[in-house]
Every structure is written in structure tokens, then in C-alpha cells.
């Protein structure tokens, strides 16, 4: 068998984009993935004709025109704009904090009135501190946005996310809490935003067109472990500690679990994303997947809907590793693994698992586009 130029472990956005670029440049690639399907975390499962984001809701957003043009050259993107709504004990508020939120909270109608209200509440919190620095997340948030916003939209949501009281969480978790003094519910500030028309699988299929791929193949339990026999280079997008057989210790992750069900109604909550910011509901968010891709009448042309409740869950072996834990132990352990990685010849460690860093989709693609000159 002729040797490959690249054996690519992982068919998520890093691996798939890499395979696309390298193939375009005439390189021979093989992509393997241990999951039964391609696409990594952006994979969608079709249920009742709705693309269900199986590994968590994904909204593409970027300021980088090169990345936006690149993904649009593979598949057209729709006009989805993320405008989440918060539900606090049945009261609804727009997010991110903006003039709509302040009107719903206090009935204020002008930026001046909203600013006065926020400043009044911030001043109360700062007075309580009496000159000292905020000691925990609760004090920090109160001094940034005041009592009403904190108690209604931050406190219990954050406690559900972290499984700890805000008074027991460090202040640094919240550095800034931007408030918008305009009526603008668009969650992201980026210039470009959307969902691939037909779903993310189209993006992955487009990237991997003409590339040989094998699913259900775990690098570590397959013939490819001895990859130098098969390829000149390895692109590894799995977990970095696993690559080194956990020899320095295991990295920790945070995870989310999803309870997904079909509802016999065309429109369950009227929005793709609803955050539940009070303790009376155990989940943090409910995602109604059809709203990512169906608009106006299309919502009602599809008689059912699929929703996913999201639960913040303590990570255990065998669960999906979603978010790196940025504490001292894990940061220094990840650094130590990165140093080992630098010594590996002809191996590229790419993507969120191999770099032990949270990356949105666009920066992952940007990284691969920057490899162009090396290929
Ligand atoms: C819950 C959640 C929500 C998110 N929402 C957004 C969002 O709204 N917008 C946004 O821009 N970004 C979002 N992201 C980030 C986005 O998921 C990542 O940027 C993207 O998945 C990174 O792609 P990747 O290729 O690095 O990793 P992945 O998509 O995880 O792909 C890695 C692949 O490697 C495979 N693999 C691992 N080990 C092995 C092995 N030993 N052998 C074979 N295969 C292996 C895995 O099966 C997987 O398919 C979200 C992330 C999470 C966790």
C-alpha cells in the first residue's frame, strides 16, 4: 500500500478541515474516528425531519471574513441569529442584558433610566463591600450589575452550572458583565452568524468529499496506533493525555448531559434557546432544535418538534469530555503534556481535545487555514 501523507485521527471540524485542505493540495489522507459517525461535536441526528444537535447546540459565528467565506464555499449558511430568552420562575427576559431586559425587569424605557437603575443597584452592592475587593462570584456580580439582574438571571443559573453556591465560587470566573443600552437581543457581537443550510452534516460531508474515512476505529485500539507504518505524518485531534497514556496524570473535564424528546406540537417554546435561571427547574437550558433551521411557516409545516434539556453534570470516565477545567492543576498538567507533544516528530496536535482548550468552531477552522503554507 502506498504510504499516506496524513493519517488524521478525529473527524471533527479540525480533522475534517485539515483533510479538506490537504486533499486539495494533492496529499493522501485517511481520516479515522472512534464514533460511529463523522463530524465530531457538530454532528446532527435527523429526528422527525429536524436536525438535532446531538453533542450540544452549535451556532456558527465569526468576525473573520476568510473563515466565513471558506465555510460558505462548502455550504450555504442561513440567517439564524442567536437570541436566547431567560425563564425565571415563569417570567421571561431577553438576553444578553439589553434594553429589552431592563424594560422587562424595571419598566424603564430609555438608556438613561436603565443606567440610573443599574448604577443605583451597583452602588448598594459596592457600599456593602465597604472598600474591600469582592471575595467571591456573588459579590463580584453584585458589584458589576446589582441585585435584580444578579438574583434573576445569574445566581441560580450559575449555581446549577457549577453545582456550588455563588458565594463559594471564585470572583475571577466573572470578570465583566456587559450590559447593552440598546434594544438588541443578538447574543453574539460578531459580524457573521448562521447555521449551515441543511445542517452541520452538510458542512462535514462537503469538507470530507473525496477523502477516505473510517468510522468506529479507535486509534489506540487499532492497527493505526503504529501509524508510521501507514503515514508520514499524524494529525491527532483526540485527548492529549490519552495520547501519552496518561503518564503524567488525567486531565479533568466538565460535561453536560442531554435529555432529548419529541413533543407532539409544532412549536414548543417559540425559540431555539431558553435558559432556565431558577432552581425550580433542574436543567440549565432547553433547546428546541427546529428553530435553528426553520423559520416562519416552516415551523408549522413540520408537525412535531424535538427538544433537549441540558443538565450540568460532574464528569466521570466514559462521559463526553466537553469543557477543559481551567484551574491550576489542570493548566499546569496540560502545559506538561504540551511540552511532551512538542517533542513528537511529524505529529500535529490539533483541536479542542488535543490542545486542552475551549475553542469555538471558527477559531478551529482559522487554525487549520493557517496551516496552508505548511502543507
Ligand atoms: C456543548 C458544546 C457546545 C458548543 N457550542 C458551540 C457554539 O455554539 N458555537 C461554536 O462556535 N462552538 C461551539 N462549541 C465548540 C465546538 O464544538 C468546537 O469548536 C469543535 O467541536 C472543535 O472541533 P474539534 O475537531 O477540535 O473537536 P471534536 O468535534 O470533538 O472532534 C474530535 C473527534 O476526534 C474523535 N476522537 C477522539 N479520540 C479518538 C481516538 N482515540 N480515535 C479516533 N477518533 C478519536 C472524536 O470521536 C471526535 O469525533 C461547543 C462545544 C461544546 C462542548
Q: What residue ranges define each of the domains in the chain, with the CATH number in brackets?
A: 4-80+192-250+324-374 (3.40.50.720), 102-173 (no CATH)
Q: Known catalytic residue: 176?
A: yes
Cis peptide, bond prior to residue 100, ω within 30 of zero: no
Residue at grid coordinates 423559520: 295
- Residue 322: CB within 6 Å of ligand 1? yes
* Atom 38 of ligand 1: nearest residue by CA position: 238
Q: Known catalytic residue: 358?
A: yes
The rounded distance, in Å, linking the Cα atoms of 155 and 103 is 20
For residue range 255-278, list pLDDT tens digits in order: 999 999 999 999 999 999 999 999
pLDDT along the chain (375 residues), means of 10: 93 98 97 98 98 97 98 98 98 98 98 97 93 94 96 97 92 90 97 98 98 98 97 98 97 95 98 98 98 98 98 89 91 98 97 96 97 72
- Residue 27: CB within 6 Å of ligand 1? no
For residue range 22-51, list pLDDT tens digits in order: 999 999 999 999 999 999 999 999 999 999
As given in the structure block, the three cell numbers for residue 289 are 432544535
3-state secondary structure of 220: helix
- Residue 289: CB within 6 Å of ligand 1? no
Q: Are the C-beta atoms of 273 and 58 separated by less than 8 Å?
A: no
The rounded distance, in Å, linking the Cα atoms of 222 and 29 is 17
Beta bridge partners of 287: 273, 308
Q: Are the C-beta atoms of 57 and 273 separated by less than 8 Å?
A: yes
What are the Cα distances from residue 50, in Å, to 205, 290, 371? Answer: 18, 6, 35
Residue 172 CB burial class (10 angstroms; 0-12, 13-18, ≥19): exposed
- The preferred substitution site among 237, 309, 365, 367 for testing ligand 1, maximizing ligand atoms within 8 Å of CB, is 237
Amino acid at each position: 500500500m502506498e504510504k499516506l501523507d496524513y493519517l488524521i485521527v478525529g473527524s471533527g471540524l479540525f480533522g475534517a478541515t485539515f483533510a479538506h485542505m490537504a486533499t486539495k493540495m494533492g496529499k493522501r489522507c485517511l481520516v479515522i474516528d472512534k464514533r460511529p459517525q463523522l463530524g465530531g461535536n457538530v454532528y446532527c441526528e435527523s429526528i422527525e425531519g429536524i436536525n438535532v444537535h446531538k453533542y450540544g447546540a452549535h451556532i456558527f459565528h465569526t468576525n473573520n471574513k476568510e473563515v466565513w467565506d471558506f465555510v460558505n464555499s462548502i455550504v450555504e449558511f442561513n440567517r439564524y441569529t442567536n437570541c436566547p430568552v431567560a425563564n425565571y420562575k415563569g417570567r421571561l427576559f431577553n438576553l444578553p442584558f439589553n434594553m429589552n431586559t431592563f424594560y422587562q425587569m424595571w419598566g424603564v424605557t430609555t438608556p438613561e433610566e436603565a443606567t440610573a437603575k443599574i448604577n443605583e443597584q451597583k452602588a448598594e452592592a459596592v457600599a456593602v463591600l465597604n472598600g474591600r475587593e469582592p471575595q467571591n462570584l456573588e459579590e463580584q456580580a453584585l458589584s458589576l450589575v446589582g441585585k435584580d439582574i444578579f438574583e434573576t438571571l445569574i445566581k441560580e443559573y450559575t449555581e446549577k452550572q457549577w453545582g456550588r453556591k455563588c458565594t463559594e465560587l471564585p470572583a475571577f470566573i466573572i470578570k465583566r458583565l456587559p450590559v447593552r443600552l440598546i434594544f438588541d437581543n443578538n447574543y453574539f457581537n460578531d459580524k457573521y452568524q448562521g447555521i449551515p443550510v441543511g445542517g452541520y452534516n452538510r458542512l462535514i460531508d462537503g469538507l470530507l468529499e473525496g477523502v477516505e474515512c473510517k468510522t468506529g476505529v479507535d486509534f489506540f485500539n487499532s492497527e493505526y496506533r503504529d501509524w508510521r507504518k501507514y503515514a508520514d505524518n499524524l494529525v491527532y485531534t483526540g485527548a492529549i493525555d490519552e495520547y501519552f497514556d496518561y503518564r503524567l496524570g488525567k486531565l479533568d473535564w466538565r460535561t453536560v448531559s442531554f435529555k432529548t424528546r419529541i413533543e407532539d406540537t409544532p412549536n414548543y417554546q417559540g425559540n431555539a434557546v431558553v435558559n432556565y435561571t431558577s432552581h425550580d427547574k433542574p436543567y440549565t437550558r432547553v433547546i428546541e432544535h427546529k428553530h435553528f433551521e426553520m423559520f416562519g411557516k416552516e415551523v408549522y409545516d413540520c408537525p412535531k418538534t424535538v427538544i433537549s434539556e441540558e443538565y450540568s453534570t460532574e464528569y466521570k470516565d466514559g462521559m463526553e469530555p466537553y469543557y477543559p477545567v481551567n484551574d491550576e492543576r489542570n493548566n499546569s498538567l496540560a502545559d506538561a503534556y504540551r511540552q511532551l507533544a512538542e517533542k513528537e516528530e511529524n505529529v500535529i496536535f490539533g483541536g479542542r481535545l488535543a490542545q486542552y482548550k475551549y475553542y469555538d468552531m471558527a477559531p478551529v477552522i482559522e487554525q487549520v487555514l493557517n496551516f496552508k503554507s505548511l502543507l
